[in-house]
Amino acid sequence: MLPVMPTTVLSAPPAAALDPTDPQAIAALASDICAGVELSAAQARALLDVAPGSAAQEALFAAAQKVRAHFLGHRLSCCSILNVKAGNCSENCTYCAQASGSSATGYDKTGWLPDADIVNAASSASANGAKALGLVAAWKGVKEGTQLDMVCNAIEKLAEQGGVRADVNLGILASQHCADRIAQAGAKVYGHNLETARSHFDNVCTTHSFDERLKTIGYIRKAGMGLCSGGIIGMGETKDQRIEFAEQVRFIAPDMVPINFLNPVPGTPLGHLAPLPADEALTTLAVFRLMWPTLSIMAAGGKEVVLGERIHEVFRAGINAIMVGNYLTTLGTAPDYWRDAAARYGLELVPEGEESAEHGCGCGKKSCS
Ligand code: SF4
């Protein structure tokens, strides 16, 4: 049975309204959260309205850093992704250059990569300080049969290489058996985003459903893999829907939550949208930190486009994980930049060799569940 998740989280007025212009009230919230009080959806929604450059926004960022330090310390994880099968996807996700119907041309389409390319990419990710390499395929998902065999073979090669943790992001799983085989092949973490609020999902994809994604998340959990699941901000959703999405993420409690910002690629249906303003993106990250105090939050794709020279401020907004290197079809930021920026915010990369002491999602637990 699919989990029942919150859908109309903002239907009731807040019992005690939060004033998003009051720095003291925001600072008090941080202390409450550190003491175990959960931020309500209504409080989170109010915080999305803090004014850019205001004392209240400064208090919000300070609150996000306080909560991160309290629950997660000063460690920063990073990971990389590799597109093992690029382009010609059957799905119609409106934000994606690889989708069916997209006329975006700025990347190379490939079939499933040879094992040697995957092993080389793992070595390079490890040299760049990444703890994990996620194999990502542009297709609907994995079915039993030769496709599952091919996938498992590649995961085994990546796991044998040993330099980085073998993660995968292979779309919708057709059955529990697929999830179990992928876990047995050595995949430690399966990435499968919610993408956006349930109420907005049909506006961004119609070839599969939000519930199909939830079903796959259930298979991932039952197979014992860590769950990496977040979404994309700036796809035309309302601020209410951003908080609805955050409530739904809180409900599934992933081990890692990658937050992407829409990079509006020409040739995609969302290519006409303007990138989110930098302050709105940073405020959203900080509010998510207060909503998910114990979850690892990764600044993932689109941050270069949305934040520009302010990209280092993702650390100011309370994130504790970073995606390094290039994304699926667009370029990312060099790992050296992140090392230096993290140090300026008093954060350090999780040292090499500690991988075996934790599950590796940055969650700091022995096992993710
Ligand atoms: S996001 Fe994934 S499933 Fe959707 S179109 Fe792009 S590659 Fe296909």
Q: Tell whether domain 70-357 is in CATH 3.20.20.70.
A: yes
Q: Find the range with the poorest average confidence among 27-31, 206-210, 212-216, 344-348.
A: 344-348
Residue nearest to atom 7 of ligand 1 (CA): 138
Span 144-180, pLDDT tens digits: 999 999 999 989 988 887 778 888 999 999 999 999 9
Q: How far is the CA of 60 from the centre of ligand 1 (A)?
A: 34
How much is the average pLDDT of 298-317? 94
**Angstrom distances, CA of residue 215 to CA of 2, 172, 318:** 6, 8, 30
How much is the average pLDDT of 281-306? 96
Q: Find the range with the poorest average confidence among 243-247, 290-294, 335-339.
A: 335-339
Give pLDDT, residue 106: 67
Q: Does residue 350 or residue 170 have the better pLDDT? A: 170
Give pLDDT, residue 5: 62
Q: How far is the CA of 97 from the centre of ligand 1 (A)?
A: 8
Give pLDDT, residue 52: 97
| Predicted TM-score of the model (pTM) | 0.89
Span 95-147, pLDDT tens digits: 988 888 777 766 677 788 888 888 888 887 777 766 778 888 888 999 999 99
| Crossing angle (nearest 10°) for helices 55-72 and 23-34 | 10
Give pLDDT, residue 325: 64
Q: How far is the CA of 93 from the centre of ligand 1 (A)?
A: 6
Span 39-55, pLDDT tens digits: 999 999 999 999 999 99
Residue-averaged pLDDT of the chain: 86
Residues with CB under 6 Å of ligand 1 are 89, 91, 93, 96, 98-99, 138, 171
Domain boundaries, the chain: 70-357
Q: Find the range with the poorest average confidence among 93-102, 260-269, 304-313.
A: 93-102
Residue nearest to atom 2 of ligand 1 (CA): 138
Q: How far is the CA of 279 from the centre of ligand 1 (A)?
A: 28
CA of 138, closest atom in ligand 1: 7
Give pLDDT, residue 3: 52
